[in-house]
Structure 1
């Protein structure tokens, strides 16, 4: 299956300029292509990942991906998908975010046949006079106002700064066409207007024979129509400090049967044969969640590492079985990050007092009853002796004490 047919099968093509021309180019030469991200945060979340997964597929098919970090446009603010003006960041924050995003991109794309560039390198050199004379003159205000990304903001208002964003993105495409032989821009569905504006600019300056193409990816929605990528705790980040690899793995493992095949197509590099087989397991034996497990393994390995996959699965197995004794302190930090927690003094204490002090039981009477009934496990061991002393230094490098009350309710004690 060629790359273009594969993308269509995966449902990764929303809109496309000059489909025939792009297919011919892809079949005859190595095509340069780019997707961009503005440094509005120091990590991508999984919503950002979607166009870059498509860019990675092109890389694996032998084409040349270029990632643009928007050090210039990020200082301006993209009006897309927003109902108000973006709060401008300091340049120190922008540069910090650029460095973090660059590191993530290098991990995802490797070093071969891949480029990272920063649009501040050319946008930062533009004077106001050059901008107005060389580019502003080529854009019709009427056309710019009609773009969805701008039209949606007219009622609430849009600043001239954000209004000019589409010109700057167009300049990016022109500069990459010249500097990196980039012919294809890839973006989300909301970027269609900006992408076509860039193609128009290339044709105006380089001539109508210039080969430039645009491809957008469908808006990702869950089967119930809600937005993909959000959880009760907020965004799912690629940065392990913001979303632990265990939490990342669990997000994918917990996907609904109605969505998992779509996500396997979008977020893994598995073949059609493999995905079709996993789809059949959803129909035949959904309880085993084999498709969800494979999805979680593949995307966690891609974003983090195979080691992260193994750690996530070890944590999952320990939490399910209650056997947490073999987990490391690092794995405890990951697996219990969102569990109820309490502080523990670094001193020995009777188990009854420990349970009450932790707030797990409200009274000593209830604590004694739970202990005698075998409902309390500490660091994986069932405690039934009321005289037991709890030593916070016994396990997990002296950093944590894990309490389980009943079959599933865990508490994390942080040793102070």
Structure 2
């Protein structure tokens, strides 16, 4: 069976799909992953075929320094560019399917994959990293907040948010016209699939977010889809030397979400009295800090005392898997939810919203995370639970039942 995974988005959207694809290939499936060109090496390294989706979302969504506000013109420009990105991704998805597929697994920002699948007469299955289903159990991730509105409020606002306008509405409508499909809005299609209890696989651990009681049977909390390991990868020698030269340091990185000056970060880690590994720059920054590029979290995080990050789905999972305390600094969408889940699990202090981040607040949070034994204890308990889960099993079961 030929599986096409459609993963527009940033590295955090592609890495779990590449890990899942690697495991599916190991049991006989042919897997291709459609993603932005920047992630072609990652896909190929996982053993999957790469199919391009034009664009680079990472450059589009990166936030400015904490506290900086975007102008109205910048906001308008952002939404225009985001719409163009999604339109190109929809065109790329069609081309990727034309190259051959028997089933499509689509992430949460690729609803146009359902339109393509309908035209080709093949099944499409959601493969999401965020809890996109409206539920009483959590606030809608599009709110950029983890503040609960109460069970009824969460559900109602979640339903309204999912039916509201989105940057992929236009591309979906265009594809349906071009492919000769009946007229149907993206929101109507999602309501129809919800009514028929269509399958959506969630690459989320039920140990981190328990399956909500109001989910229908087609919504499956499969467990995390871990990255595919590269047996040939070796850590940089200067990083190995730095780690060996003192106590476990603090990791600080914000992935594709934000770009923070290393001086800001070092100010915070020094206030906490901690050594630092800073992602986004490379080489020694000072005697007490080193910068790193792309280093596998599964190797790096277990060697840290605390991990500080934007609380993206994959990075949060990696921190919990490593069993070390987390300081979440959420920037947008689902990140506030994951940061709040870490705190609810007792694996770290209360998160710091990115827009309120200061060196003093970050330093205090790092100090609290590293000096509170219960955080490390709970983090290790979550790691133990994650080690017993198999996120691939539910995916295999679904594919075998097609």
TM-based fold match above 0.5: no
Name the structure, 1 or 2, with higher relative contact order (CA <8 Å, separation 6+).
2
Q: Which has the larger radius of gyration?
A: 1
- TM-score by length of structure 2 reads 0.26
What is the TM-score of this pair, normalised by structure 1?
Answer: 0.25
